[in-house]
């Protein structure tokens, strides 16, 4: 399970005295435990998909931080956050390329035949249902907007 791999990596980081990685993995473990409590899954634990959702949420927060630091011209903090991203992305499935995402969206548009930009929500809902965890939501949203005009 993914949670077991995170715990193994945490132990390795602690033995290697890798402060940044061990702190981040402890945070992820804490977030996973909080999610287990919230979903009342303490005994059986989260599935790998649910664990990946927790990690994706953390990655989104890190990306938001990077954007804030860029506007504040804080290169030192940007590098720190990018290192965190590199550590966490290992635990997520490989992200789809933009061309692959466009093909999926084209298929959805061909199937539903939206009337224009007013159907953005419908197309986006279908797209995220198919692409959840496989593609960045911002990229999907941008492609759907472009395709719908």
Structure confidence at residue 132 as a pLDDT band (50, 70, 90) = confident
Structure confidence at residue 39 as a pLDDT band (50, 70, 90) = confident
- Given the structure tokens 């990077």, which residue do they identify? 66
User: For position 4, what pLDDT does the model report?
Assistant: 93
Contact predicate 119/112, CB 8 Å: yes
Tell me the domain boundaries of the chain. 2-89, 98-148
User: For position 118, what pLDDT does the model report?
Assistant: 86
Distances, alpha carbon 70 to alpha carbons 19, 96, 136, in Å = 24, 26, 20
Distances, alpha carbon 76 to alpha carbons 51, 61, 83, in Å = 29, 17, 11
Structure confidence at residue 103 as a pLDDT band (50, 70, 90) = very high
User: For position 40, what pLDDT does the model report?
Assistant: 84
Contacts of 49 (CB under 8 A, 6+ apart): 133
Structure confidence at residue 21 as a pLDDT band (50, 70, 90) = very high
Structure confidence at residue 10 as a pLDDT band (50, 70, 90) = very high
CATH 1.10.10.410 for the 98-148 domain, yes or no: yes
Structure confidence at residue 81 as a pLDDT band (50, 70, 90) = very high
Tokens of 91: 């635990």
User: For position 9, what pLDDT does the model report?
Assistant: 96
Q: Which CATH class is domain 2-89?
A: mainly alpha
pLDDT of 137 strictly over 80: yes
Q: What is the mean pLDDT of the chain?
A: 90
Task: Report, as an integer, the average pLDDT of 72-93.
Answer: 92
Other Cβ atoms less than 10 A from the Cβ of 12: the count is 13
């Amino acid at each position: 399970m993914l949670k077991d791999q995170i715990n193994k990596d945490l132990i390795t980081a602690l033995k290697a005295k890798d402060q940044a990685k061990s702190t981040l993995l402890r945070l992820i473990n804490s977030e996973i435990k909080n999610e287990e409590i919230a979903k009342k899954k303490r005994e059986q634990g989260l599935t790998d998909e649910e664990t990946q959702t927790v990690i994706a949420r953390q990655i989104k927060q890190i990306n938001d931080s990077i954007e804030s630091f860029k506007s504040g011209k804080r290169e030192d903090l940007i590098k720190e956050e990018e290192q965190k991203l590199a550590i966490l992305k290992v635990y997520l499935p490989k992200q789809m390329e933009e061309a692959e995402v466009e093909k999926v969206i084209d298929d959805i548009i061909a199937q539903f035949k939206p009337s224009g930009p007013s159907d953005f929500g419908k197309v986006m809902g279908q797209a995220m249902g198919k692409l959840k965890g496989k593609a960045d939501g911002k990229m999907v949203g941008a492609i759907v907007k472009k395709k719908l005009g």
